[in-house]
């Protein structure tokens, strides 16, 4: 389905490159079908050398080229970008936005047209094709548009579909989540170092433990609590460590982290709406 679609990635930073690279690595499309833009020419030279796609600093050109426009700029750059390209946008073009906090309604209002809009919240492991993404559709998007977005995001990991009011929760869980896991890897490593392991070995063991445990949950579909019980011997080492984690409040701490990040995401989204006189 995607092979014939022309896709413009506007903003070729971490995420823009991860998404276009993911599509090419998965051989879902050819470099001729992709055009990448950025305001930095040196960045585009890197992208072009690595992925053999056409690049330009001219966003008008990119919009004229595309069937699908993927918005990959930072939230603060979006309004200006949409003002710049809105007259070039044709009604039939699908707009996919990965811009945090910007609703489909805001995008439709900024453009002033009834384009199908799909909003996505990916996360940084997209860079290694292990993203946890969620998407929602705007008022004018149909199943066919959702399917295209799922295919693009599916090239870099797992994709869930949610209603738009849950996108802030997605931000608080999987959008911000990699940072929580990096802290856990770092802390486990420190524990190993404190007890005598060389840091490089401790880092590798901690990292692989997180990766392997996640893989076991994903592949077996066994509830994490059951998997935990399976590795907890009566009177053994793990149950004592679990008691420490429970007493130190690991669970409520992580639950509160997701709650706090979700609330902050809501707050930032409202601020953006207010700033643009849309509330």
Ligand X SMILES: NC(=O)c1ccc[n+]([C@@H]2O[C@H](COP(=O)([O-])OP(=O)(O)OC[C@H]3O[C@@H](n4cnc5c(N)ncnc54)[C@H](OP(=O)(O)O)[C@@H]3O)[C@@H](O)[C@H]2O)c1
Name the residues that contact ligand X, by CB under 6 A.
Answer: 10-16, 37-40, 43, 59, 72-75, 77, 81, 98-100, 121-124, 175
- Count other Cβ atoms within 10 Å, centred on residue 187: 11
Whose Cβ is closer to ligand X: residue 15's or residue 111's?
15
Tell me how far apart the alpha carbons of residues 178 and 162 are, in angstroms, rounded to a whole number: 20
Q: How far is the CB of 82 from ligand X (least distance, A)?
A: 9
Q: How far is the CB of 166 from ligand X (least distance, A)?
A: 15
- Helices 14-25, 143-154: axis angle to 10 degrees equals 90
CB-nearest residue to ligand X: 13
DSSP string, 264-276: HHHHHHHHHHHHT
Tell me how far apart the alpha carbons of residues 57 and 130 are, in angstroms, rounded to a whole number: 29
| Residues 6 or more apart in contact with residue 18 via CB below 8 angstroms | 122, 126, 127, 131, 156
Q: How far is the CB of 59 from ligand X (least distance, A)?
A: 5
Q: How far is the CB of 16 from ligand X (least distance, A)?
A: 6
Q: How far is the CB of 93 from ligand X (least distance, A)?
A: 17
Whose Cβ is closer to ligand X: residue 82's or residue 141's?
82
Whose Cβ is closer to ligand X: residue 33's or residue 176's?
176
Whose Cβ is closer to ligand X: residue 168's or residue 202's?
168
Whose Cβ is closer to ligand X: residue 37's or residue 103's?
37
Token pair belonging to 37: 């833009």
Residue 168 near residue 266, CB atoms below 8 Å? yes
């Amino acid at each position: 389905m995607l092979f014939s679609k022309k896709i413009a990635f506007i903003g070729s930073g971490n995420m823009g490159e991860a998404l276009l690279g993911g599509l090419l690595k998965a051989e879902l499309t050819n470099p001729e079908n992709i055009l990448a833009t950025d305001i930095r020419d040196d960045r585009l030279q890197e992208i072009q050398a690595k992925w053999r796609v056409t690049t330009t600093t001219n966003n008008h050109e990119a919009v004229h080229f595309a069937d699908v426009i993927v918005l990959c700029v930072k939230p603060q750059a979006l309004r200006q970008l949409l003002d710049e390209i809105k007259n070039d946008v044709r009604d039939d073009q699908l707009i996919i936005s990965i811009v945090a906090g910007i609703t489909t309604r805001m995008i439709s209002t900024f453009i002033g047209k009834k384009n199908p809009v799909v909003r996505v919240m990916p996360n940084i492991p997209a860079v290694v094709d292990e993203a946890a993404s969620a998407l929602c559709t705007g008022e004018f998007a149909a199943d066919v548009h959702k399917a295209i977005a799922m295919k693009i995001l599916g090239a870099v990991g797992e994709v869930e579909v949610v209603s738009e009011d849950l996108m802030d929760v997605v931000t608080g869980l999987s959008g911000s989540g990699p940072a929580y896991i990096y802290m856990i890897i770092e802390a486990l490593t420190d524990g190993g170092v404190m007890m005598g392991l060389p840091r490089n070995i401790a880092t590798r063991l901690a990292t692989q433990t997180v990766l392997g445990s996640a893989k076991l949950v994903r592949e077996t579909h066994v509830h994490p609590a059951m998997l935990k019980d399976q590795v907890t011997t009566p009177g053994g080492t793990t149950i004592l460590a679990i008691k420490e984690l429970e007493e130190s409040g690991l669970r409520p701490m992580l639950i509160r982290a997701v709650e706090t990040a979700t609330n902050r995401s809501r707050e930032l989204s409202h601020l953006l709406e207010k700033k643009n006189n849309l509330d």
